[in-house]
Structure 1
Amino acid sequence: MTLNAHLSALKMPKAFLPSLGVIATGVLLMTMQTTSAQAAGQYYNCANANGCKLVSNKYWTSSHTKTQYPVVLVHGANGFNRLFGVLDYFYGIPETLMSGGSNVFATKTSAIHNSEFRGEQLLQQVKTISAISGSPKVNLLGHSQGGIDIRYVAGVAPQYVASVTAISSPEQGSKTADVAMEELQLSETSLVTQALLPIFELLGGSLDIGSGIKVQEQDGWQTLQALSAKGSAPFNAKFPAAMPTSYCGQPADTEVNGIKYYSFSGIGQITNGLDPSDYLLAATGLAFAGEPNDGLVSSCSSRLGYVIRDDYKMNHLDSVNQVLGLTAWGQPDPKTLYRDQVNRLKKANL
Structure 2
Amino acid sequence: MNGKIVCTLLLSCLSLNAAHATAGIQQAPPTTKIDHYAETKYPILLVHGMFGFNRLGGATFGLDYWYQVLPDLARHNATIYASQISPLESIEVRGEQLLDQVEEVIAITGKPKVNLIGHSHGGPTARYIAGVRPDLVASVTSIAGTNNGSPVADLVQSVPILNGTLGIVMDALMTPVINWAQQSNLPSNFKASIYSMAKQGVAEFNAKFPLGMPTTACSDGASLANGIRFYSWTGVSNTTNLLDPDTIFTALGPIAFSGQPNDGLVSRCSSKLGLTVRDDYKWNHFDEVNQVLGLKGLFAPDPVAVFRQHANRLKLQGL
Q: Normalising by structure 1, what TM-score? A: 0.81
- Counterparts of residues 118-157 of structure 1 (less than 5 Å): 118-157=94-133
Q: In the aligned structure 1, how far is the partner of 2:102 from the partner of 2:249? A: 34
Q: 2:180 is matched with which residue?
A: 209
Query: How far apart are residue 105 of structure 1 and its match?
Result: 0.7
Aligned partner letter, 2:101: Q
1:298-331 CA-partner distances (Å, limit 9, x unpaired): 0000000010011111000000000100011112
Q: Residue type matched to 2:269 in 1?
A: C
Contact persistence 1:172–1:302 (CA under 8 A)? yes
- Per the alignment, in what secondary structure is the counterpart of residue 329 of structure 1? coil
Matches within 5 A, 1:1-350: 51-52=24-25, 56-85=29-58, 86-182=62-158, 184=159, 186=160, 193-201=163-171, 202-214=173-185, 216-251=186-221, 253-350=222-319
Q: Take 1:284 and 1:309, find their aligned partners in 2: how far apart are those partners?
A: 20
Cα distance in 1 between the residues matched to 2:244 and 2:285? 12
Alpha-carbon displacement from aligned partner over 1:84-124 (angstroms, at most 9, x marks no partner): 12110000000111111011111111110111110010001
SS in 2 for 1:300: coil
Larger relative contact order (CA 8 Å, sep ≥ 6): 2
- Give the whole-Å Cα distance in 2 for the aligned partners of 1:219 and 1:149: 15
Q: Which runs of 5+ in 2 are unaligned?
A: 1-21
Distance 2:92 2:121 in 1: 11
Partners of 1:327 and 1:306 lie apart in 2 by: 25
Q: Is the 8 A contact 1:283 1:295 kept in 2?
A: yes
Q: Describe the superposition over 1:212-262 as per-residue Cα deviations: whole angstroms up to 9, x where unpaired.
A: 212x211011011111122100000000011012332332x1111111000
The one-letter amino acid of 1:149's match is: T
User: Would you identify which runs of 4 or more consecutive aligned residues in structure 1 move more than 6 Å?
Assistant: none
Query: Which residue number in structure 2 is paired with residue 43 of structure 1?
Result: none
CA distance in 2: counterparts of 1:53 and 1:121, whole angstroms: 14
What runs of 5+ residues in structure 1 fail to find an aligned partner? 1-48
Q: Which moves more between the two structures, 93-102 or 198-207?
A: 198-207
User: Any conservation in 2 of the 1:176–1:285 contact (CA below 8 Å)?
Assistant: no
Percent identity over paired residues = 42
1:50 Cα shift? 5.2
| 1:192 CA drift (Å) | 5.5
> Greater shift after overlay, 265-274 or 50-59?
50-59
Q: Is the 8 A contact 1:284 1:295 kept in 2?
A: yes
Aligned residues of 1:173 and 1:230 also touching (Cα < 8 A): no
C-alpha distance 66-73 of structure 1, shift in aligned 2 (>3 A): same
Which residue identity does 2:215 align to in structure 1? T
Letter in 2 for 1:265: T
CA distance in 2, matches of 1:157, 1:260: 14
Counterpart in the other structure of 1:7:
none
CA RMSD of aligned residues (A): 1.6
Distance in 2 (CA, whole Å) between partners of 1:271 and 1:290 is 17
SS in 2 for 1:302: coil
- Give the superposition deviation at 1:285: 4.8
